[in-house]
Amino acid sequence: MADLIVEVGCEELPAAHCRIAEDTLPGLLSAELERAGIPAGSVVAHVAPRRLAAIARGIPERREAQRQEVRGPRADAPEQARQGFARKHGRAAEALVERDGFVWAVSEGTAVRAADLVPGALTAAVERIQFPRTMRWPGGRFSRPIRWLVAKLDGEVVAARIAGVPAGGESRGPRPGRDAVAVGSAATYLDDLRAHGVLVDAAERRAVVLGAIDEHGAADTMGKLEEVVYLVERPRVLVGEFPAGYLDLPERIPVTAMQSHQRYFPIRSPDGTLEPRFLVVANGGDDDVVRRGNEEVLVGRLDDARFAYDRDRKVGLAAMVAELDRVSFLEGGGSLADKSTRLGPIIEALCERNGLDDDVRRAALRAAVLCKADLVSRLVGEFSALQGYAGSVYAAEAGEPEAVCAAIAEHHMPDEAGGEVPDSPAGALVALADKGDTIRVAFTAGLEPTGSRDPYGLRRAAAGLVAIALDRGWRVDLPELAGERAVGFVLDRLEPVLLDEGVTIEELRAARGSGETEPAGVAALARDLHAFAGPRRDAVRDAYGRCARIAGETQAGDVDGRLLSDPAERALAEALAAGGGSTLDTAADLAAVVERFFDEVLVMADDEAVRANRLRLVAGVRDRLRRLGDFAQLPG
């Protein structure tokens, strides 16, 4: 058994690409080694910005010889056929073997050393990593240019090559130096690089950063931690300071100045108040020099923020609203003023449909007028993450009621998949209307997402729409709100939410097959189907299946009571008329009646009128059950 170390040395990879490689490289390499006939016992990945490394342990020394037998023509075939077969397999006709009335080309094969198989496997594995976007450089195509390659099986370099770069035994140390680092073997790899200050394993780097966060009370990592871990190879956590005067600004402004772009972590005192200090995760350099540089950068950004904030307050919210007709929303979607105007009727309809209070309606309508104003503010121009928040601050200064300010702040929520939904009903209304409008306009203009490309954030908008509808349990007319063409796209966002709750994909498909398009309605049906799993649900599924099969293309219609002669068919007609099958519980009862019906009644009666009447009855049962879900989707 031998251990393999591979390190693909790159120019700085994007943080998101690092995570993709870390997640997928072990599986890819494992599969390729297995395909090559030298399966590894285990494969792990270690990833830092300039290196994708994988260690595969327990690789067999060689792929054993494999005996191969290929059957040729019949033993009594003409000599010509025999000759041809022999030539094709590269041997003399005399070397063919006769058995079972055929001739055979038999080869014993030869064993192949792992070192000769590894190069192909690792090249294939690395090339199969799926990055969302790749680039070309003179030499190849990858996430970023590949500049060196280490590939050693135990102590021996293997003759691999990726993007024209031949494998060797030397890695490189941290920037800005150009030190070569000799890699001994898989066993020494992490230590070889650690000796030069590089922590190749992300978990080690994360531990360094988390340790400092704990020590200094930096609570607001806000999702930046995982990014920062992949922006450094030798993390040094430094504490910087800034003048306390900037803490007069509304709190999220200095916090955003620290977090967005700079990826600093704000520090809070134990009582939660913001301190004029921050953590910066550096990647080397002299601590004092680096700290001072970062402090100066932050003060510059805080100056910008203050300048923007002061200018915005002078301009005022009303003047910003007046600017909105000059700002484009989406191709075919008019201006932001047009968008704001469209939100009003959507909000009215949602209120109507869900019987919401008048004060909620008023707050939402007012917020709809104001919610886009901050997009022309200087503050949002500097810090786009302050969208919504900036507007709510300026609205409060303009004397708008609290509910309106809250709705403005919340209308972007949820910011990410699984993020918090708006807290206030008015915020939820504006958020739903805004997201629905964006999706409708984009789909109308043919801007729907393709593959991994979603430049207008439509998946996030749809996920947010669904999350809010479920959270509130509101009825949402999806075809009206997001447009007919986007209904399926929006309902697709139910999948992660419901699967996470334990609902199966079949149950969700069945619920969607009901024809229901309300997100909350589909979710309720899917959850009901899930809760109802068992023999009773199976009985309904079977009853539905028989009805659907027998009824075929038949449309449901009035059943003529006078043509019902058999007690079992009368019972079924009565059960249906009494509303049987409107809920899963009564559907299970109905299933028993259906079963009796099929046992006792011959649907395909000789009398055409009787037959048609029975088919209409069966179709009626099918359609009734179908409203609960397309049971044909459930496993049998």
Partner 1 sequence: MAATFQGMISALQAFWEEQGCVIVQPYHTELGAGTSNPATLLRVLGPEPWRAAYVEPSIRPDDGRYAENPYRFQEHYQYQVILKPAPDDVQDVYLDSLRAIGIPIEQHDVRFVEDNWESPSLGAWGLGWEVWMDGMEITQFTYFQQAGGIELDPVSAEITYGLERLSMHLQRVRRAHDMRWGGGVTWAQVREAPERQFSAYNYELADTAMLARHFDDHEGEARRCLDAGLPLVAYDHVLKCSHAFNLLDSRRAIAVTDRAAYILRMRRLTQAVAAAQLEAAGGGGDG
Smallest distance, partner 1 to C-beta of residue 323, A: 8
Residue 411 neighbours by CB under 8 Å, 6+ apart: 367, 371, 388, 422, 427, 430, 431, 434
Q: What is the torsion angle, in degrees rounded to the nearest 10, for the CA atoms of residue 121, residue 125, residue 127 and residue 133? A: 180
Residue 499's nearest CA partner among 467, 533, 527 is: 527
Task: Report the residue from 65, 135, 318, 531 that binds partner 1 according to the rule CB under 8 A.
Answer: 135
Q: Please state, in angstroms and rounded to a whole number, the distance separating the CA atoms of residues 571 and 568.
A: 5
Please identify which residue in the block is written with the tokens 């070397």.
95
Q: Quick one: DSSP state of residue 168?
A: B
Smallest distance, partner 1 to C-beta of residue 470, A: 34
Smallest distance, partner 1 to C-beta of residue 300, A: 7
Taking the least distance from each CB to partner 1, the nearer of 218 and 280 is 280
Strands 170-172 and 180-182: antiparallel
Task: Give the binding range for partner 1 (CB under 8 A) out of 78-86, 94-102, 218-226, 290-298.
Answer: 290-298
Smallest distance, partner 1 to C-beta of residue 217, A: 21
Q: Please, are residues 529 and 510 in contact by the beta-carbon 8 Å criterion?
A: yes
Q: Quick one: DSSP state of residue 13?
A: P
Q: Please, are residues 431 and 413 in contact by the beta-carbon 8 Å criterion?
A: yes
Q: Please, are residues 7 and 183 in contact by the beta-carbon 8 Å criterion?
A: yes
Q: What residues between 174 and 203 interact with partner 1 by CB under 8 A? A: 175-178
Q: What residues between 536 and 565 interact with partner 1 by CB under 8 A? A: none
Q: Please state, in angstroms and rounded to a whole number, the distance separating the CA atoms of residues 587 and 538.
A: 11
Strands 62-63 and 112-113: antiparallel
Task: Give the binding range for partner 1 (CB under 8 A) out of 57-65, 98-106, 142-150, 486-494.
Answer: 142-150
Task: Report the residue from 71, 87, 99, 133 that binds partner 1 according to the rule CB under 8 A.
Answer: 133
Cβ density class 362-376: b for 16+ within 10 Å, e for less: ebbbbbbbbbbbbbb
Smallest distance, partner 1 to C-beta of residue 133, A: 7
Query: Quick check: 296 binds partner 1 (CB under 8 A)?
Result: yes
Query: Quick check: 307 binds partner 1 (CB under 8 A)?
Result: yes
Taking the least distance from each CB to partner 1, the nearer of 284 and 316 is 284
Strands (E) in 235-273, as ranges, are 236-241, 265-268
Query: Quick check: 166 binds partner 1 (CB under 8 A)?
Result: no
Task: Report the residue from 42, 328, 555, 583 that binds partner 1 according to the rule CB under 8 A.
Answer: 328
Task: Report the residue from 23, 98, 310, 325 that binds partner 1 according to the rule CB under 8 A.
Answer: 325
Query: Quick check: 12 binds partner 1 (CB under 8 A)?
Result: yes
Taking the least distance from each CB to partner 1, the nearer of 284 and 513 is 284
Task: Give the binding range for partner 1 (CB under 8 A) out of 170-178, 184-192, 584-592, 627-635.
Answer: 170-178
Task: Report the residue from 157, 299, 556, 592 that binds partner 1 according to the rule CB under 8 A.
Answer: 299
Q: Please state, in angstroms and rounded to a whole number, the distance separating the CA atoms of residues 403 and 395.
A: 11
Question: Which structure tokens are listed for 311?
Answer: 């200018």
Taking the least distance from each CB to partner 1, the nearer of 52 and 590 is 52
- Kindly write down the DSSP assignment for every residue of 300-359, as one continuous string: HHHHHHHHHHHHHHHH-HHHHHHHGGGSB-STTS-BHHHHHHHHHHHHHHHHHHHT--HH
Task: Report the residue from 67, 136, 314, 562 that binds partner 1 according to the rule CB under 8 A.
Answer: 136
Query: Quick check: 298 binds partner 1 (CB under 8 A)?
Result: yes
Q: Please state, in angstroms and rounded to a whole number, the distance separating the CA atoms of residues 550 and 605.
A: 13
Taking the least distance from each CB to partner 1, the nearer of 136 and 453 is 136
Taking the least distance from each CB to partner 1, the nearer of 283 and 554 is 283
Taking the least distance from each CB to partner 1, the nearer of 177 and 561 is 177
Task: Report the residue from 327, 445, 578, 609 that binds partner 1 according to the rule CB under 8 A.
Answer: 327
β-pair partners for 68: 107
Taking the least distance from each CB to partner 1, the nearer of 342 and 472 is 342
Phi then psi dihedrals of residue 158, to 5 deg: -100, 155
Interaction site with partner 1 (CB under 8 A): 11-12, 14-15, 133, 135-139, 144-145, 147, 175-178, 231-232, 262, 264, 280, 282-286, 289-290, 292-294, 296-300, 303-304, 307, 325-329, 331, 334-335
